[in-house]
Structure 1
Amino acid sequence: MTVSTKSNIYSNFVGGKWVESSSGDVLRSINPANKNETVGYVQDSTKEDLNAAVASAKEAQYQWKKLSGSERGQYLYNVANIMEKRLNEIAECATREMGKTLAETKGETLRGVAILRYYAGEGMRKVGDVIPSTDQEALMFTTRAPLGVVGVITPWNFPIAIPIWKIAPALIYGNTVVIKPATDTAVTCAKILECFEEAGLPEGVINLVTGAGSIIGQGIADHPDINGITFTGSNNIGKQIGKSALQRGAKYQLEMGGKNPVIVAADADLDLAIEATISGAFRSTGQKCTATSRVIVESTIYDTFKEKLLAEVKKITIGNGLKDGIWMGPCSNESQLQTVLSYVKKGLDEGGSLIFGGEKPKGSEYDNGFYVQPTIFEDVTSQMTIAQEEVFGPFIALIKVDSVQEGLDIANDVQYGLSASIFTTNIGHMLSFINEMDAGLIRINAESAGVELQAPFGGMKQSSSHSREQGEAAKDFFTSIKTVFVKG
């Protein structure tokens, strides 16, 4: 078991065993809805602990890759079934650690289950193609080889889905894994690893090491025996990891920030656009890389849109995500709360008009949590900080434009290119948006947040390293192509 008999202390998982860190120290994970509540303690690991995990993964990889795809897939099916049985436990833990509502974490857990089953099936799909040779007496074809040991570094905002959508393809294609989750949600990750343990994966195939990003995260980037690194998180950290991986020739995959626009054309279904804007901006307290951040509205419908938007946002209930009737939980930590409040100040300082929220809600039930109101600014120009930088909170900037083309120009006027959506009934506007929008995920008459698990996911510009996750596209990162020429 991961939990100490003394208290709720969670260990690392290395070589098929739960082991304490060599440092003897632990890190506290707290409930953002009530900072006085401790969810659990995780290991404050050292490079020595990381080295042990990597050595274990390296030793296990040879036998793991020799298994057939269907054999590896059966393990993933087993994990999925175990996770499904533990749905309520895992979801409740994630809500207590991260803050989003229980309905959202249950949905995220079920998505993790679906991802596992999807990649279990991938074990039976083709891994190459026959290629005609100029030599009629020869056979030429391609196959796929695993990278080896893969380092997985995950954030706190999707503590179930993101680890699973990285781990599952890594394993099905024959790699072994060392995962370092965000400390804020490392207890949830430990519960996921328990499911892998119960499913009976061979020792060393998957390993968990918790601790500081500067030690364990950077250690993964620098480690000579880690052949590939998949990372989701901030741009600054991602670029640092990419630089370290590049210097030693390791393959890397970075999914980073977004400043995602929604364009609302004059011919749009306004009720649909408002519903999707609110969901995209404020679900998960806006803490999604695909969250709606800028809402670009044609001037002829701007006032009507704003009035309807404000009326609906006022209905949002804020509180502990475990309670019935709560629509939006707290920010995930004190730092994120202060970041949101700092952008409120920047918006005001640069001439924006705060028309809703922007403060901590009042009341004793909010005093010990990292709560903030949904926040809406107007009179925003594209040059303002709040229109350029990722806030990662329940925060939108309304921008008025005179045409869809002007909206497109503003939508593209940022360093990011992750997701974008438009609401329109005009096929010409749809096609222009599809062709001209610089984003990896294009959504028409749907919120900016969300992508189906079987579809490629990733961004353009500064939002990613230009690789794609999920679906069959994951194969491109987690394997290398071998070209084989056979002559009798």
Structure 2
Amino acid sequence: MLTYPMFIDGKSREPASGAWFPSHDPYRGTPWARIANGNSSDVDEAVEAAHRALTSGPWPELTASGRGALLCRLGDAVAANARRLAEIEVRDNGKLFTEMHGQLSYLPQWFHYYGGLADKVEGTVPPLDKKGYFAFTRKEPVGVVGIITPWNSPLLLLAWKLAPALAAGCTVVVKPSEFTSASTLELARVLDDAGLPAGVFNVVTGFGEDVGAPLVTHPLVRKISFTGSDSTGRNIGATAGRELKRVSLELGGKSPNVVFADADLEAAVNGVVSGIFAATGQTCIAGSRLLVQESVHDEVVDQVVKLAASARMGDPMAETTQVGPITTRAQYTKVLDYLAVAREEGAHAVLGGHPAERPECGDGWFVEPTVFTGVDNSMRIAQEEVFGPVLAVIPFRDEDHAVAIANDVRFGLGAGVWTSDIGRAFRMAERIQSGTVWVNTYRAVSYLTPFGGVKDSGIGRENGRHAIDAYLEDKTVWINTGAPAGNPFVLR
């Protein structure tokens, strides 16, 4: 088994407790690495290192252009190591190598984009209503940032936070998921070799109560950026609020994929299958609710079932595999529990609905692609995030009915609309309560476009020009250029 110590202040560090825990290969169901089990002492050390790097040494001496050039070098280093990092992610989370390699090959663009943006951050010179004064504003780094990442796409979702934070001049302490820590620790070494100063990027591994909680409450941490479940996000948001820390939360979803009768049905079916069965349904934007117009309901369901039933399962490293295992045993059990709940509520499994028992799945944590019909939007299978390859099909009559169903959940992260009517496309995009609406496509993301949710799907936006503002503070500077002294007890 491989051994992964923590990474603090530019060096590999063994845990203060001396304890380690295993990381499991979801395809084989067996441990493949041991990870350092951190605690509050390790968090203290990492945050103090990040604070030192923020306030002294080479990092604060870099100009904005210098930071930008360094970020571009970091992106190049990630690109050079993309295949190796992708292989580690597959071993850790069981997602397809073809997808992980695609993510890692694309990930450098975040470093390049925010590297180019680093010296485009500007203050302002506002016009004043007072004679004898000059004022200007500055953009300054918020400080030490605590980043907490999930297990489904560890490095891609880390880059969404890390690149703008570094471009802003912040330093960071990362707490990766205890299920998928290895790739983040490998990334730390890649960035260190590329010249990132010691203490700017630190990784403390372990469990939420031992590492995540002390990171959120640490007095030197000024911002928390979290991606994960809405229940954990609520706790982090409440704690950060009490501590008056800045917070960004990218949480869960129960996204509708809305298919109208006038859509290109072949394209829509491909999009529906991609939206829920790609990545084994383990994405926050999974299109887990298929809303299909009544007149084409049976036709669309038949085509979805036919295409999903043809999906090849097995070794996620094989290029021919299309559906991989569930990442963790706990999540595997959760998905199976939801299959039972759906049946109890009266839904009918027209495909799957049980663990995969194919020989090519071996001892891994596989669930057959599952399609439920007879679903009412009030059912738990339609309201709660399953985070697995489970699709709930719900018929609708017209636009108003589709909008009512689409919005009748507490989440609002993503949505898909399939139609050939351009007017309908604009109307639906306006009326659906969601941070992203895809029209005649699904799961498209870019470093150029904002991403985030409304309602219980989170607070704030990642990616795009304005994401860097989440890691900056505005400071106003007033200068008296000749205003006479006035009454010291009266506001000027």
Interval containing the TM-score (normalised by the shorter chain): over 0.9
Aligned equivalent of 2:55, options 48, 55, 62: 62
For residues 195 and 121 of structure 2, the distance between their equivalents in structure 1, rounded to whole angstroms, comes to 26
- Structure 2: distance between partners of 1:145 and 1:211: 31
Give 1:339's aligned amino acid: K
CA contact (8 A) 1:319 1:329 kept: yes
Write the distance in 1 (CA, Å) between the matches of 2:306 and 2:84: 36
Match of 2:70 in 1: 75
Contact 2:74 2:191 in 1 (8 A): yes
Alignment of 1:370-381 (within 5 A): 370-381=365-376
Paired residue secondary structure (1:151): strand
Tell me which residue corresponds to 1:398.
Answer: 393
Q: Tell me if structure 2 keeps the 8 A contact 1:65–1:175.
A: no
Tell me, yes or no, if structure 1 residue 15 matches structure 2 residue 12: no
Alignment correspondent of 1:471: 464
The one of 133, 141, 145 equivalent to 1:146 is 141
Structure 2 CA distance for aligned equivalents of residues 198 and 274 of structure 1: 45
> Which range is displaced more, 168-177 or 60-69?
60-69
Aligned to 2:447: 453
Offset of residue 189 of structure 1: 0.8
1:4 alignment partner in structure 2? none
Distance 1:46 1:377 in 2: 43
Q: Which amino acid aligns with 1:39?
A: W
* Aligned equivalent of 1:481: 474
Q: Does the CA-based 8 Å contact 1:298-1:404 persist in structure 2?
A: no
Instruction: Give 1:476 shift.
Output: 2.3
Give the conservation status (yes or no) of the 8 Å contact 2:10–2:198. Answer: yes
Which moves more between the two structures, 162-171 or 147-156?
A: 162-171
Q: Is the 8 A contact 2:373 2:393 kept in 1?
A: yes
CA contact (8 A) 2:16 2:42 kept: yes
- Tell me if the contact between 2:27 and 2:362 (Cα under 8 Å) persists in the aligned partners: no
User: Aligned-pair distance for 1:428?
Assistant: 2.7
Task: Work out the CA distance in 2 between the residues paired with 1:99 and 1:85.
Answer: 22
Given that 1:259 and 1:390 are in contact with CA atoms closer than 8 Å, whether structure 2 keeps it comes out as: yes
Aligned partner letter, 2:24: I
Offset, 1:264: 0.5
Deviation at 1:130, TM superposition (A): 2.8
Aligned in 2, Cα 1:307/1:363: closer, same or farther, shift over 3 Å?
A: closer
Please tell me whether residue 261 in structure 1 is matched to residue 261 in structure 2. no
1:89 aligns with 2:84: yes
Q: Give, in whole Å, the separation in 1 of the partners of 2:104 and 2:480.
A: 49
Tell me the equivalent position of 1:49. 42
Work out which of the residue numbers 29, 32, 45 in structure 2 matches 1:39: 32
Residue in structure 1 matched with residue 225 of structure 2 by the alignment:
230
- Asked if the contact 1:267/1:426 (under 8 Å) is kept, the reply is yes
Larger gyration radius, structure 1 or structure 2: 2
Instruction: State the distance in 1 between where 2:121 and 2:212 align.
Output: 33
1:102 maps to: 97
1:395-440: CA deviation from partner (whole Å, max 9, x where unpaired):
1111111112201100000000101110011123212212211111
**Equivalent pair of 2:151/2:179 in contact (CA under 8 Å):** yes
Are 1:214 and 2:196 matched, yes or no? no
Asked if the contact 1:290–1:450 (Cα under 8 Å) also holds between the matched residues in 2, the reply is no
Q: Which of 352, 357, 364 is 1:357 aligned to? A: 352
Q: SS at the partner of 1:130?
A: coil
1:220-255 CA-to-partner distances (Å, cap 9, x unmatched) read 111111110000001111111111111111111111
Check conservation: 1:14, 1:204, Cα contact below 8 A.
Answer: yes
Counterpart mapping for 1:66-465 below 5 A: 66-135=61-130, 138-447=133-442, 449-465=443-459
Aligned-pair identity (%): 34
Q: Tell me by how many angstroms 1:136 deviates.
A: 6.1
AA partner of residue 413 (structure 1): D
Question: Per the alignment, in what secondary structure is the counterpart of residue 439 of structure 1?
Answer: coil
Q: Which amino acid aligns with 1:402?
A: R
Deviations 1:303-359 (A, max 9, x none): 111121111112110111101310111010111111111111111100111100111
* Alignment-mate amino acid for residue 258 of structure 2: I
Give CA-to-partner distance per residue, 1:265-319, whole Å, 9 cap, x none: 1111101111111111111101000110101011111111112111111211011
Distance 1:131 1:443 in 2: 39
Residues in 1 aligned to 2:124 and 2:258: alpha-carbon distance in whole angstroms: 42
Q: Which amino acid letter does the alignment assign opposite residue 103 of structure 2? A: E
Matched, 1:26 2:8: no
Task: Out of 360-369 and 213-222, give the one that drifted further.
Answer: 360-369
The size of the alignment, in residue pairs, is 479
Q: Which runs of 5+ in 1 are unaligned?
A: 1-6
